[in-house]
Structure 1
Amino acid sequence: MAGNALIFILLSGLGSLPSCFPRQYHLVEKSVNWTEAQSYCRQHYTDLATVTSEEDVTKLNDALGSFRGGHVWIGLYGDIHSWRWSLQNKSYYGEGEAEFRMWYSGEPSTYYIDEYCVPMNTGGTWWDYYCSSSLPFVCYNDRTKGSSRWILVNERKTWSDAQSYCRQRYTDLASIRNLAENEEIRGLINDTSWIGLFRDAWKWSDGSTMSFSKWADNHPSEGDKHCVASHLGKWLDYSCSNRFYFVCYRDVVNMQVVKVRLQSASSADLEAKKDELLQQLRQRLKDQGVSDDVQLRWVTQPDGRVFHKEGKEEEKDEESCGP
């Protein structure tokens, strides 16, 4: 019982550690293209600027100083090579099968905005298309074998609605792993129809997903513009070959020292259990959703120990020490 109470006090004392760290933005006054800016930031800082809130927008603008009215690269970009299947089960795909493609000549075009989803035409080839368009679609059912595992749905839906329909009634939108499966589905459809291939619209250089946006009016726009610059706090898409100043970020590591008081028969018992206690503390924080970025360690005193008795008990120990 004493051991359980001891651990509870320890966990309660450190349970308020922050789950995330703030970013520190740095303006780099070099005119470079987006890829060069990304490389520089990764070499000298953490990465090109990631912006996830209005607070970040304000902090980034403050970092620009006298250059506040200029255009600066940030880390947002359109990943035109991130095509993947709606069905994410890795065991479904053999070696190289998740990368099978049957693009129509000149596709994917990546020219028009919002072309992040893929249909198959009646000739069996694919192209990138507006996800908001309503088309028939093909579902996959893992409970059946052979060509019957493909289900053509002749209702017109957007790609997202088609995905939801297939997941609710079958397994998912159709993934095509090879030419034979492509031919099976080509023989099934009689109109251009959605399959399960899609790509991310915009993502951050550090791998973060885009959950906040600050687009300027009429942006993102059409054309070969897959990299993003900030101007007066608003975002504009440009060709990645444009040359601008840029903003990097560095994670600010905060160190917080928390003193805890524990009830135990002796500090020697605690010293013996300190590794076990620290591991339990890490697990408790993880269970509470605290980021893995938070690192914990004991603070070792000059005498090499972590735990010490306090006040009168400490004084009594010192008085009782004899030759």
Structure 2
Amino acid sequence: NVLLLTVTRCPEDAEDWHYFNGWCYSLSEAAEGWFGSEKACQKLGGHLASIASREENSFVQALGQCEQNAWIGLVKTDVSDRKFSWWDDAPFNYTERFSININAYYDCCPEGWLAIEGSCFYVSSKRTNYFNAQISCESMGATVASVSSRREQVLLTMALGCDSRIWIGLEKVKPCLSDSSKSYCYMWMDGSEIGYADWASGHPSSSNEIECTYTLGRWYTTNCYNEYNFVCKKK
């Protein structure tokens, strides 16, 4: 589905809104076309979003879980000159393709680690199987990362980007702990409870050969011996 992206100052009831750099964002089912979507945004006290930086663009991409299209507030204002402008009159200074400098997220963590929601994350450029990823993380006093909330998932996706599959620390357990939900067949290796889950459609798999989890905007299960990049987490 095509979604619309709205931005406004944070409302009092911000459960479905996501904070970034002083603004709140929300994804909703799109109204009819661009103008219908902008009108729907205005009813919520905002506009279709303008994007002013690489960091904001990566946040928007992460909010859409790397797979959803979204209307934004960029419109052609002069057909003959092919000029574009932001509908909310924001300066049109940022036009680069999405990329992110992970060093921008360094804050009270060891050098090369990212500070996200009170934890430190390390994104490895090395591709390896899940078990070797866990060994590498443990050697740094960490574990393959758990994800405890929607906001943490968005910020982590923002740092990881949408181009590579990344191991996270969610493993299948045997026997399954509950028959009520397939999520209970999995557990975080750092002992965290699965209070939040972001499975992609068709996942987790019920196959006995698929026992580990990677993220690519959302969570997917696969064979643990596949080789992907990985992310470590520690307090």
Asked which structure has the greater RCO (Cα within 8 Å, sep 6+), the reply is 1
Q: TM-score, normalised by structure 2?
A: 0.46
- The answer to which structure has the higher helix fraction is 1
More strand by share: 2
